[in-house]
Every structure is written in structure tokens, then in C-alpha cells.
Chain A
Amino acid sequence: MPDTARVISPARPAISVSGLDVTYRTSVEARPTLKGAIVRLGRPQRSIREIEALKNVSFDVPNGTVLGVIGANGAGKSTLMRAVAGILPPTKGKIEIHGRVSTLLALGVGFNGALTGRQNVVLGSLAAGLTRAQIELKYDEIAEFAELGDFMDMPMRTYSSGMYSRLAFSVAVNMDPDILIIDEALSAGDAKFRKKASERMLNLAHNAGTMLLVSHALGTIKTMCSEAIWLHKGQLIKRGSPDEIVAAYTNFLEVGETALTMEDV
């Protein structure tokens, strides 16, 4: 992508989230049954419980920032990523995005295991709004970076989890996004691919791309990110430099910076 495309006024943040609430409504019954529905008849509210996945979260991400997002399981990290990507509608508040977003979310690419890697990549990209010509241009790059070889033309159900993860990462970074959202990207890749992927992400970050990076690997957050936020139970607890946030988070966990949490898991 030409450099001119990235020259965006620094006064305008790439991502601006203000007062964001996301509330899920789920059925409380473990198994929704006809009997349950009949017993409840006339009192439909009782079966619904609201889960406030995000509560009044506000932050800006200036252009060129690599923002790490940390927090315990269930803190709302993935929900936040989906909301920023426009997949989950906000319940309250507003999200404003300037730039082309590419996402690498926890579930990865490949929505249909019966289709080949190639078909899944093409379909996913078409749904994301790319034209056939754009996809053709990108496809070789994606296949080469993922190092899947002949597996690109095999049904995705035959893939190992590492292969899934490699293909997903390759698709996300090769879309030349202005904003890259990565949620637990490299959990399944092997050490060699992780190294290659880290280099690619650093490269992207140096080119003034904006990145949101969710990771439990605090070491990655420290090396990759220029800023970090800490979410806990849907609320934004703290924002600051990665070192500061990681320290606060580990302190909160009362484990200190042990080898366990520093490890690239």
C-alpha cells in the first residue's frame, strides 16, 4: 500500500470508543425445554438474564498505536474486539473507526470445514467486501505466508489447529489493513511460525499501522505494544504504558511476574 494512504490527521484517532456498553441476553435455563416454557408462560422475563460484557468503556487509539488488551478470562476482551470490528452492536455508547479493519478473532477463518482452505479464504474475503481481483492479487501472498502447501486445496476439517491458526493469521495480516485486530492469534502456531508472525506484526506496527492485540502472553504485550489497557469484568481498569499495566495486572493477580505468565503461551 502506498505511504500516502496512511497519512491521516493525527488529531483524529483511528479508533474512538466512548461510553460503550455491550449487554448479552441469554437464557438462564441450561436446556430450554417446552415444559419450562409452559411453566413460565406469561412471565417471559424470568428466563432471560442479562450479562453486561462491557460497562461504560471509553478509550481512543491514535494512529500508529499498538494497543495491548489484557485481562482475565471473561473480562470482555473478545467482546470489545468484536464490537470494534462492527460484529456486535453496542447496547449503549458509540464506536468510531477511521480506516480499513482486518480482524483475526479467536475462532479464526474457515466457517465451513467441508470447504477447502482456498474456498474459505475466498468466501471470507468476499464477505468482508473485497473484490475478486483484489483477492486474486492477495491469494498467493496469503498461501505462501501460511506455508500450507497442498493443504490449501484440502477441506479445512483435515487441518490441525496450528494450520488453522497459521492460515487465519496470514489472511488477517495480508489484507493491508489500516487497523489490525488480533485476538489470541498465535496460541496454536509452532515456535517458528510465531517468530515469523511476531516479526510481521512488528513490521506492520512500524509502518504506522494501528493494532489492537489481545493476549494472555504478557511478554508479547511488553515487546509489541506501545500502550496497554486492562479490562476486568467488563470495565476498563487502567490505561498506560505496557510495563505499567502488566505490573498492575500481575500485582492484582498476586502472582508477580512469574515465569508462567511471562511465557509466550
Chain B
Amino acid sequence: MRSQTISPEDEFLGEHHVYEPHRAGLPKMRPYFRELWRRKSFAFELSRTEMHAANTDTFFGQAWLVINPLLLASVYFVLVQIVSGRSQPPEYFAHLTSGLFLFYFISGAMLSGASSVVSGGRLIMNTSFPKMLLPVSATYTAFRRFLPTMIVYAVLHLVARLPVGLNLLWVPVVLLEAVCFAFGLSMLFATLQVYFRDTKSFLPYGVRIWLYLTPVLWFADAAPARLQPFLPFNPLYGIMGSWSQVLIEGEPPAKTLLLLGALWSLGTLVVGGLFFMSREREFAVRI
């Protein structure tokens, strides 16, 4: 007698599996995400061990999580002072650091996401699991690195006597947009890296140009008038704009900016996720 039927699409579940060619390309969503959720501790554990391993042999150890953003902010501050040749308004340094830190979170998730699948090659060749765990872990690591930078920023915020009020409650909303956007990019570039191994070498240059095109080193309203119409085409324009408004001006973000950020982040999340999932069963063959 047959035991109770377990639905055959439970690809990763313990007891009964059916493997068939995937014509449609995408796995069944519900069992996929159920298994992803069930194995989430893998992503966190991987992130934890990697962060631990990254700084064990340095003198300052985990303090680098704070030293890094401080040095980064100083470098760009000096650069902008020299290039512009005049002193900036007092809130400028706060704008610069807050923007830089958020930008580095997103680009960090993107860069480590890009290598996450390829460097997890041996695991992929030996275990059957939802590969999305790898970019999840990369994004989570980037976020864990981002959190200490917010402490650095908080100090700067107070020193610059910027407004502290209820409008700061918008911070998690904008951060959520940034996390979705970063995760989407992470999956997108993880997949691209499998097929086109030069991705990772090009990426840092793309990231740098993107930084200069984004209102981080400059204020959005300071852009030349003829360039203003093109600004919204930068995927980061909405997120960065809202971020600066909430933190520096202490106001709720403009609806258009918030909406623009939400559209870009959801779009990237969906496109990156579907691209990743439709390709992930081929990773074992490509690595």
C-alpha cells in the first residue's frame, strides 16, 4: 500500500523527490520559498563565518567595520574639497557620509553577490539546495557591514546639529527599498557571473562611475539644469534622494522620490530573482 502522497514538486524536501527536465525554467514557487525559508540559517551562518574569517588576521580585527567607513568618508571629503576648491556648507559632510555608506552597502551586496555563486561552486556540485541562499547570504553580510557605519553616521549627525525628529522614522522605509534593490542586484550579477566570468572585473569600474552619477558627492538640486531631466533614470536617484531628505533635511521624503525608489527596487528584485531562479538549476553544469 502506498503511504500518503507527497506532492512530487517538493524538490528539496526530505523524503520523496522527482527530478524531471525543467521545461518552464522556473521551479514551483511555493515549495522553493518554503525550502529557502527552512534553510535560512545556512545563509546567516555562512555570513557569520565569512565575516569572522575576514578580519581575524588583522590587528584591528572587527574594528575595521568602523575604521573603513571613516577612512572612506575622509577620502571623499578631501577629494571634493580639492576639486571644488571652496569650503562646503556644514551639512555637506553629513550628506556625503550618509550617501556613501548607503551606496557602499548596495555596491557591496552587488559585488559579493556576483562572486557568491561561483565561489560556492564546490557546495553546488555536492549538495542540492535552493541556490538563492548564496546571494541572500551576500546581501546579509553587506547589511551587517553597513550597520556599524550607521553608528558612525549617527555621531556625525549629532555633531552637525542636524534635526532629530519623528521624520527619522522614514529611515527604515528607505532602507527597505535599498535592501530589496541590493538583493535584486546581487542575484542579477551572481547569475551573470556564472555565464560571463569577466563581470566581476568590470563591476568595480561600473560601480565607481555610478557613484559619480548619483547624488552622493553632490546635492541633487546642484546638478546642471540640462542634466536634471536625466537624473530619474538613475536607479539610485529615488532611494538616495529620499535618504538625503529624511536624514539631512529632516523632512518626510517627497512622494515622487519614494515611489521612484520603490519602483526601481521592486523591479530589480523581481527581475533579478526570476533571472536567478530560471537559471539556477543550470549552475551545477556551468561551474
A residues contacting B by CB (< 8 A) are 8-9, 12, 24-25, 82-83, 85-101, 103, 105, 107-112, 114-115, 119, 122-124, 126-129, 131-132, 178
Contact = CB atoms under 8 A, between A and B. Distances in A.
Contacts of B21: 89-93
Interface stretch (B40-48, B74-82, B156-164, B168-176): B40-48
Interface of B: 1-3, 11-12, 14-22, 35, 38-39, 41-42, 45-46, 49, 53, 119-129, 133, 281-282, 284-285
A87 B284 contact: yes
A103 B127 contact: yes
B129 A129 contact: yes
A95 B38 CA distance: 24
A29 B49 CA distance: 38
Contact of B126 (A9, A93, A97, A103): A103
B126 A86 contact: no
Residue from the set A85, A95, A97, A112 with the largest chain B CB neighbour count within 10 Å: A112
Contacts of A128: 127-129
Contacts of B38: 129
Contacts of A89: 19, 21-22, 281-282, 284
Contacts of A9: 1-3
A138 B18 CA distance: 28
B17 A97 contact: yes
16 contacts: A87-B125, A87-B284, A89-B22, A92-B21, A94-B18, A94-B19, A95-B19, A96-B17, A96-B19, A97-B17, A97-B18, A99-B15, A112-B122, A127-B129, A129-B12, A132-B41
A126 B39 contact: yes
A154 B150 CA distance: 34
Contacts of B39: 126-127, 129
A111 B126 CA distance: 9
Given A94-B18, A128-B127, 10 more contacts: A9-B2, A90-B21, A93-B21, A95-B19, A105-B126, A111-B122, A111-B126, A119-B49, A123-B49, A123-B123
A110 B120 CA distance: 10
A110 B110 CA distance: 25
A87 B127 contact: yes
Contacts of B17: 86, 95-97, 101
Contacts of A103: 126-127
A126 B121 contact: no
Contacts of B49: 115, 119, 123
Residue from the set B19, B122, B284 with the largest chain A CB neighbour count within 10 Å: B19
A187 B35 CA distance: 34
A83 B53 CA distance: 33
Nearest to B42: A126
A32 to B, nearest CB: 9
A115 B39 CA distance: 20
Contacts of B1: 9
B22 A107 contact: no
A127 B127 contact: yes
A87 B127 CA distance: 6
B286 to A, nearest CB: 9
Contact of A110 (B20, B45, B119, B122): B122
Given A9-B2, A111-B120, A123 B42 contact: yes
B285 A25 contact: yes
In the A-B complex, the 5 residue pairs with the smallest Cβ-Cβ separation, listed nearest first, are A111-B122, A86-B128, A126-B42, A111-B123, A95-B19
A253 to B, nearest CB: 29
A208 to B, nearest CB: 16
